[in-house]
Amino acid sequence: MENTEKTQQFIEVCGLYFEGIGLTRIAGRIIGWLLICEPPHQQQSELVEALGASKSSVSVALKDLTMLYLVERVSFPGDRRTYYRTAKDMWSRSFRARMHQLTELRLLSERGLEALQDATPERRKRLSFMRDMNGFMETEFPRMLDAWDKIKKDKGYDDL
């Protein structure tokens, strides 16, 4: 497959971005590549080729990405090879993952409040605020996702 200067850059920036949010650089590059490649499903050897990474790195990165539901495995009848492509719900999935951080924060605040059970309301205020704000976001977030789901259909993105 062709590989222009610009696509190459795109892949690198992807690598850096996803590395920045906690994945590895190679995993990020894989995502980048899977976002632009044709066809959209690729086998490991193709990724190795396209990214100039080692078989082993690609193998483990794909396993991680699959675990995170960012990438999914695909197979075709009469072909024993495994292909990979960006997962159907990868984006809403990662939004939900982020939402989960909200929950963690709320739980954290509740834990703190428990530790300060007998303290004055004034002292507990910082934690109460933290709990309430994250609780609010926790309920609003799914609303946003639902709203997007509707728009998504209208825009003809059903299959993504």
Taking the complex as a whole, the smallest distance from the CB of residue 45 to a copy of itself amounts, in Å, to: 21
Yes or no: say if 41 and 84 are a contact pair by the CB < 8 Å rule: yes
- C-alpha distance from residue 9 to each of 42, 132, 154 (Å): 20, 42, 32
Quick one: which of 82, 97, 129, 153 contacts a copy of itself (CB under 8 A)? 129
Token pair for 14: 């992807």
Binding to DNA in span 60-79, by CB under 7 A? 60-63
C-alpha 130/C-alpha 30 separation (Å) is: 37
| Shorter beta-carbon distance to DNA: residue 61 or 87 | 61
Check residue 152 for interaction with a copy of itself (CB under 8 A). Answer: yes
Site for DNA contains 32 (CB under 7 A): no
Q: CB-hemisphere CA count at 13 Å for 115? A: 7
> Smallest distance, Å, CB 67 to a copy of itself?
17
* Site of interaction with DNA (CB under 7 A): 19, 24-27, 43-45, 52-57, 59-63, 80-82
